[in-house]
A and B are shown apart, each in its own frame.
Chain A
Amino acid sequence: MTAPDSNAAQIAAAAAAANALPPAADERPEWTPRAEMTVLNREIPRLDGPQKVTGRARYTHDVRLPGMVYARLVVTPYARADVGRISLTAARKVPGVVYAETVKADDEGVRYQGYDGILVVVAAETPEAAEDGVRAVRAKVTPLRPPLVTPEQALADGAPQITRRGNVSSESSRGDSDAAAAALEGCDAVVEATYTLPVQHHVCLETHGCVVDYRGGDSATVYHSSQYVTGGPQEFAQYLELPRGNVRVICEHMGGGFGSKFGAGTEGLLACQTAKALGRPVHLMLTREDEFLMAGNRSGSKQRMVGGATKDGKLRALLVEADRLGGVGQGSLPTPPYIYDVETSWSRLRSVHTATDSNRAQRSPGHPQASFAMESLVDELAYALSIDPLAMRLANLSDPVYHRQLQRAAREIGWDAHPHKTAHGAPDADGRALGIGFGVSTWGSSSRPDAIVEVRIHPDGSLEVSNAVQDIGQGSRTLVAAIVAEEFGLPVSAVTPRIGDSSLPTSVYSGGSITTGSVAPAVKDAAFNARTALAARVATALGVEPDTLVFRGGRVEVRDDPSVGMSWKGACALLGGDPLTASGKYRDHLHGERVHGAQAAKVSVDVLTGRVRVLRMVCVQDQGIPFNRMALRSQINGGLIQALSYGLFEERVIDPIHGVMLSDDLEAYKIAGAQEMPEFTVILDDDDDRQAAMGMAEAPNIPGHGAIANAVYNACGVRVRDMPLTPDKILTKWLEMQR
C-alpha cells in the first residue's frame, strides 16, 4: 500500500461508509469517445501471444490426462455402400487396443459420405496402437453405384433418394419472372451466364474433436475445440447421460473453427460413449483425412443468371436460378440480387442434395458464392456497355458508404492511372497481362443478448474479467481485458481475462461475427458497474462526489483537481477483505449492426502458363469502434487470404464413379501458402464513426475471389465463370479467344 493511502482506520471507515451508499445513479454505460481512449482503438498485442509463440498454449489436441486413451475412427471412403460383416476380433487382439466397437447396426449401410461413413471406433493406449487397431478391422464394404456425389447423378431419373426431403428441397422464389423478363427487353446489354463454385473446406488446422475426462462417477470435464463453450455442457451431458450441471466444458485455445465447430458432432458422441464404456479419459481428434470427409464445408453453388442494364449503367433486370450444393445439408445462398440494386428481379433457389458431407456454416455462409456471381455479372455488363466497372458499381449501390469505400480502394490500387478501364488489356511481350478488379461486401454483424460478464476487483489491486467466451483466433481474450482496462485507466496487462470455460458466466457462440457485438457490451456494462461501485467508495474516502472522479493513468482522481485522488491500489485497498464483484449484461445501445467493405485486386496473368498471380489486394473495411486495430488488420488479412485461396486453389474433388474423395489431404486440397501472398493494403475505415461494438470477421472474406476473377478479365479478357481460377481454365479460354 502506498503512503498517501496508508491510514488504515480512515480506509476502514470509508469502506464502511461506502457499503451504506445507495446503488449507483441510473446513468448508463457509454463507449468512451474514440479520441479519449487510452487502451482501445489502438494496437493491442494479444495477451495470449507469449503462450502461443512458445508452445505453452494448451489446445484440446494437447490435453494429456492420467489413464487417457486415444480413439480413432474407421471410416469408409465410399459415399454410399453396403456394409457386410465387420470383424473386430483381430483389432481387439492388437496390443494396446482397449476398445473396438461398431457404430453401425447390422445391415446398416452407408448413405452418405461423412458421419454416416463411420463404421468402428477403436481406442488404445497410444495413437500408434489405435492406428494398428484401425488397420486390423475387417469390414466387407461394397460401394454402391452411382455414388450420387454430383448434382447430375442426384437429379437423374430414377436416382435413389438421398435425404428424407428427397434429392431437391427448400425451393423458394422471389419476384415476378414475367416482369423481370419484360424488363430485359428494354436493356442495352444483356448477359446470360452460369457461375459455379466448388465445395470449399474450412481446413481448421486443429481438427475437430474433444478429450472427454470421465473416470466413472457422476461428473465429467470435456476439453473441446469449440466455437460455443457455453453450449457444450448440454450436448455432452446428454451423451454422457449425466446431469447438465455436472459437465464442464473447457476450451482454453482452439486451432480454428471458421463456422464448423459449434457442436460436439458425432465424434463428440463417440468419444463420450467410449469414455463411458471404459471409465477412462478419451482423446478423440479427427485425422486430417477424417476432417475432410466429415467436418463440414462451404456449400457449392451453381447460379444461372440473366442480367440486363441500360447504357446509363443501371441494372434493370435480373433472373436467377440457383442451386445450393450442400451435400445432405441445405447449403446456403443469400437471395439475389445480393448487394446491388436491380430494378426488377426474379430468383428461384433450391437445394440439390448429394450423398456427401453436409455443409456447415463457413465464414460468411453463402455470401462468397453470391458475391462471385453478382460481381462477375455486374462486371460483364459493364464491359458489354463499355462502362468503367467502378462507375458501374457506384451507379447501382445506393448506400453512400460503398461510394466512399470503393473510391478509396480504387485510389489505393491505382485505378485512375490504369491504362484499360472499359475494355480488357493484352499481355506484354513476355505473355503477362496486368488487371484490376473490384468487389463489395456486407454483413449484418448482429448480436445475441445472452452474455453475462463478471468483473472482480481484488483488494490487492488485481482485476479479473470472466465470461465463458472462446477465443477462436479473433482475439476475444485480449478484447475483454482491454475493455476493462480502458474503463479503469489501466494497462491491458493489469487485467486477467478468464474465458473458455463453461463454468464461467454465460457467453455466446462465435459465429456470424456476433462475438464482439454481443460480448463487448456486456463487458463494458460489468466494468461500468464495477467502476461505479468502486468510485462510490473512493468518493466517500476523499469526501467528494462520485461523479467528479475519473480513473486514469493508474489513479482515481477528481477530474478537475488531480491532486485529490489516490492510486489504483489505494482505491482497491478500500475494499477491505473482500473483492468487489460486479456483473454486467448485454446492452443493446452499445452494439451496432451492419458493416460494408470494398476490395480491389491487382493481378498478373501469364497467358503462356495460365497462372494467375495476385499482386495486391486492397480492403477498406468499416467496423464500428476499432477496438484492437492490430487484431482487426489480422482478421481482414485472413478474410482476404481465404478468398484468394478459394478463388485460385480450393476445390473438393470426389471421384464420380466410386464416390471416393480424392482431395482428402493438404497435398491434393491446396490452400494458399507464403509464396502466393500478394501485398496487402488494409484500411480501417475511420470515417465510420458509429460508437458501437460490432464484429466484422465475415465481411472481408466475401468479395476477394470475385475481385480477382474480375481482375483476370480486365487483364486479358479471359472470363472464368467457374471457380477456382486454375491455369487449365485460363489457358483453355485464352486459346479459344485466339482462334
Chain B
Amino acid sequence: MSEPKPPSGAPRDPSRRAFLRGALAAGAITQTLSKVEAALAEPTVDPSAAASADDEVATLAGKVPVTLSINGRDTKLSIEPRTTLLSALRVHADPPLTGTKEVCAQGNCGACTVLLDGRPVYACLQLAIDVQGRAIRTVEGLGTPEALSPVQAAFCEHDALMCGFCTPGFVVATTACLEKNPSASLDEIKHELSGNLCRCGTYPHVFAAALDAGARLGGEPRKDAR
C-alpha cells in the first residue's frame, strides 16, 4: 500500500467560522459558550492584510488502493485515507451501494448501520482503510426483493417501515440482534435497537417484526419480567 503524501506544510489555521463550528460541535453547552466567547475575543484578522495567506490552501491529498470485503466479495477501491466506510459504500464503490443511508454522518442515528464481522457499527464512524480484511455486510447483502431474509420479510409483513429511510439501518441492527440471540425479548430488542432513530414512528412495528423474525430464526422470544 502506498503511503499518503505528507502535508506540504503545517496544517493551516482553520477559518474562524470553521473553528466556531468545530467548537459548537465539541461538547457541553457551557463549554461551547466559553469557546465561542474566547473565539470572539480574538482580534479580527484584517482579511486584506492576510489576503495572501487566506488565498493559499494546504492540502493533504492522495488516494490509496483499498480492498474491502463487502457482502462476501472483494471490492477494490482507490480512495483517500480519510474516506469513511459510509462514503466508500455510497459514493466510491462501483456500482455504489446506496442502501446504507446517510442521515447524520456523525454517529447519532444508526441509519448507516452495517455489520462488521457480524457486529453492528455505524459506517460513518469507520474509516474504510481501517476495515480492510474484515467482513462487511450491508443491507444489500442480507437478501434481495425476490429472496428476502427472515428479518426483511418480517419487516414487510408487519409494516415496519414507512418512508423507509431509517429502514436499512433497522434491518441490519435487527439482524445483528437476532443473530446474536434469536430469543431476544422485547426489552432486549429495544436495547439493541436504541442506536437507531426513526422519525415516521415505525418502532412498534419494528419490534413486532423483530420478535416475529426471531421466532422464524428458531428463537423463542422471552417475555420480559414486568
Contacts from A to B (Cβ < 8 Å): 43, 45-46, 48-59, 61-62, 64, 70, 74, 76-77, 84-85, 87, 89-91, 93-95, 126-128, 132, 135-143, 202-207, 253-256, 258, 287-289, 472-475, 630-631, 633-635, 637-642, 653, 655, 657-658, 660, 662, 664-667, 671, 673-675, 677, 680
Residue ID in chain B nearest A204 by CB atoms = B199
| A91: contacting residue among B57, B102, B162, B190, CB under 8 A | B57
Decide if A287 touches B105 in the complex (CB within 8 Å).
yes
Decide if B164 touches A255 in the complex (CB within 8 Å).
yes
* A137 / chain B contacts, CB cutoff of 8 Å: 15
Chain B positions 71-91 with a Cβ under 8 Å from a chain A Cβ: 80, 82-83, 87, 90-91
Decide if B54 touches A256 in the complex (CB within 8 Å).
no
Known: A59-B98, A140-B44. 15 other contacts (CB 8 A): A49-B159, A54-B139, A56-B99, A74-B17, A77-B24, A87-B51, A90-B55, A93-B55, A93-B57, A138-B47, A255-B103, A631-B159, A633-B205, A638-B200, A674-B191
Decide if B202 touches A638 in the complex (CB within 8 Å).
yes
* A258 / chain B contacts, CB cutoff of 8 Å: 199
| B44: contacting residue among A94, A142, A638, CB under 8 A | A142
* A473 / chain B contacts, CB cutoff of 8 Å: 162-164, 200
Chain A CB within 10 A, most for which of B15, B40, B197: B15
Interface pairs A-B: 6 shortest CB-CB: A55-B99, A638-B201, A255-B165, A473-B163, A52-B164, A62-B98
Decide if B207 touches A677 in the complex (CB within 8 Å).
yes
Min Cβ gap A200→B in Å is 12
| B59: contacting residue among A50, A132, A253, A657, CB under 8 A | A132
Chain A CB within 10 A, most for which of B87, B143, B161, B200: B200
Decide if B24 touches A660 in the complex (CB within 8 Å).
yes
Min Cβ gap B187→A in Å is 9
Query: Per-residue 0/1 for B195-211: is the Cβ within 8 Å of any A Cβ (1 yes, 0 no)?
Result: 01111111111110000
A276 CA to B193 CA, complexed, in Å: 43
* B24 / chain A contacts, CB cutoff of 8 Å: 77, 660, 662, 664
Decide if B162 touches A53 in the complex (CB within 8 Å).
no
| B47: contacting residue among A85, A635, A660, A674, CB under 8 A | A85
* A254 / chain B contacts, CB cutoff of 8 Å: 163
Q: How many residues from B make CB contacts under 8 Å with A?
A: 88
Residue ID in chain A nearest B171 by CB atoms = A53
- Contacts known (A55-B97, A55-B168, A674-B193); A637 close to B56, Cβ less than 8 A: no
Decide if B55 touches A671 in the complex (CB within 8 Å).
no
Residue ID in chain B nearest A48 by CB atoms = B164
Chain B positions 31-55 with a Cβ under 8 Å from a chain A Cβ: 32-33, 36, 40, 44-45, 47-48, 51, 54-55
* B98 / chain A contacts, CB cutoff of 8 Å: 55, 58-59, 61-62, 64
Decide if A127 touches B57 in the complex (CB within 8 Å).
no
* B145 / chain A contacts, CB cutoff of 8 Å: 50-51, 54, 56
| B101: contacting residue among A53, A64, A127, A205, CB under 8 A | A205
Chain A CB within 10 A, most for which of B55, B142, B165: B165
Query: Per-residue 0/1 for B103-128: is the Cβ within 8 Å of any A Cβ (1 yes, 0 no)?
Result: 11110110100000000000000000
- Contacts known (A665-B104, A667-B108); A205 close to B162, Cβ less than 8 A: no
Residue ID in chain A nearest B39 by CB atoms = A658
A357 CA to B40 CA, complexed, in Å: 23
| B20: contacting residue among A140, A660, A665, CB under 8 A | A660
Decide if B161 touches A658 in the complex (CB within 8 Å).
no
Decide if B156 touches A53 in the complex (CB within 8 Å).
yes
* A91 / chain B contacts, CB cutoff of 8 Å: 57
* B15 / chain A contacts, CB cutoff of 8 Å: 135, 137-139
Residue ID in chain B nearest A644 by CB atoms = B201
A52 CA to B152 CA, complexed, in Å: 9
Decide if A45 touches B144 in the complex (CB within 8 Å).
no
- Check if B140 is an interface residue, CB within 8 A of chain A: yes
* B109 / chain A contacts, CB cutoff of 8 Å: 205, 666
Min Cβ gap B41→A in Å is 12
A475 CA to B189 CA, complexed, in Å: 26
| A675: contacting residue among B167, B171, B194, CB under 8 A | B194
A85 CA to B44 CA, complexed, in Å: 13
Decide if B59 touches A59 in the complex (CB within 8 Å).
no
* B1 / chain A contacts, CB cutoff of 8 Å: none
Min Cβ gap A636→B in Å is 9
Decide if A662 touches B80 in the complex (CB within 8 Å).
no
Mind listing 19 A-B residue pairs with CB under 8 Å? Answer: A45-B157, A54-B145, A55-B140, A87-B47, A91-B57, A126-B91, A128-B82, A203-B199, A255-B163, A288-B104, A473-B162, A635-B162, A638-B162, A658-B40, A662-B32, A665-B104, A671-B199, A673-B194, A673-B197
| A255: contacting residue among B61, B87, B101, B207, CB under 8 A | B101
Query: Per-residue 0/1 for B133-152: is the Cβ within 8 Å of any A Cβ (1 yes, 0 no)?
Result: 00000111011111010011
* A634 / chain B contacts, CB cutoff of 8 Å: 159, 162, 200-202, 205
Residue ID in chain A nearest B103 by CB atoms = A205
Min Cβ gap B195→A in Å is 8
Chain B CB within 10 A, most for which of A61, A204, A677: A677
- Check if B225 is an interface residue, CB within 8 A of chain A: no
* B193 / chain A contacts, CB cutoff of 8 Å: 674
* B90 / chain A contacts, CB cutoff of 8 Å: 62
Chain A CB within 10 A, most for which of B102, B138, B202: B102
Chain A CB within 10 A, most for which of B90, B104, B191: B104
A472 CA to B165 CA, complexed, in Å: 11
Residue ID in chain B nearest A629 by CB atoms = B159
Decide if B57 touches A90 in the complex (CB within 8 Å).
yes
A155 CA to B196 CA, complexed, in Å: 41
* B205 / chain A contacts, CB cutoff of 8 Å: 633-634, 637
* B207 / chain A contacts, CB cutoff of 8 Å: 674, 677
Chain A CB within 10 A, most for which of B18, B111, B207: B18
Residue ID in chain A nearest B191 by CB atoms = A675
* A95 / chain B contacts, CB cutoff of 8 Å: 59, 61
| A674: contacting residue among B108, B167, B203, CB under 8 A | B203
Decide if B197 touches A671 in the complex (CB within 8 Å).
yes
Min Cβ gap A59→B in Å is 7
Residue ID in chain A nearest B50 by CB atoms = A138
* A660 / chain B contacts, CB cutoff of 8 Å: 20, 24, 36
Residue ID in chain B nearest A256 by CB atoms = B163
Decide if B36 touches A658 in the complex (CB within 8 Å).
yes
- Check if B100 is an interface residue, CB within 8 A of chain A: yes
Min Cβ gap A292→B in Å is 10
Decide if B156 touches A50 in the complex (CB within 8 Å).
yes
Min Cβ gap A656→B in Å is 11
- Check if B29 is an interface residue, CB within 8 A of chain A: yes
- Check if B21 is an interface residue, CB within 8 A of chain A: yes
* A203 / chain B contacts, CB cutoff of 8 Å: 199
Chain B CB within 10 A, most for which of A48, A635, A665: A665
A89 CA to B53 CA, complexed, in Å: 10
Min Cβ gap B225→A in Å is 15
A52 CA to B140 CA, complexed, in Å: 10
A637 CA to B83 CA, complexed, in Å: 38
Query: Per-residue 0/1 for B152-178: is the Cβ within 8 Å of any A Cβ (1 yes, 0 no)?
Result: 100111010111111110010000000
A59 CA to B102 CA, complexed, in Å: 11
Residue ID in chain A nearest B167 by CB atoms = A52
| A53: contacting residue among B104, B105, B108, B168, CB under 8 A | B168
| A253: contacting residue among B47, B103, B164, B204, CB under 8 A | B164
A452 CA to B32 CA, complexed, in Å: 54
A677 CA to B198 CA, complexed, in Å: 12
- Check if B9 is an interface residue, CB within 8 A of chain A: no
* A658 / chain B contacts, CB cutoff of 8 Å: 36, 40
- Check if B6 is an interface residue, CB within 8 A of chain A: no
A140 CA to B46 CA, complexed, in Å: 9
A91 CA to B12 CA, complexed, in Å: 13
Residue ID in chain B nearest A49 by CB atoms = B156
A289 CA to B82 CA, complexed, in Å: 21
* A640 / chain B contacts, CB cutoff of 8 Å: 201
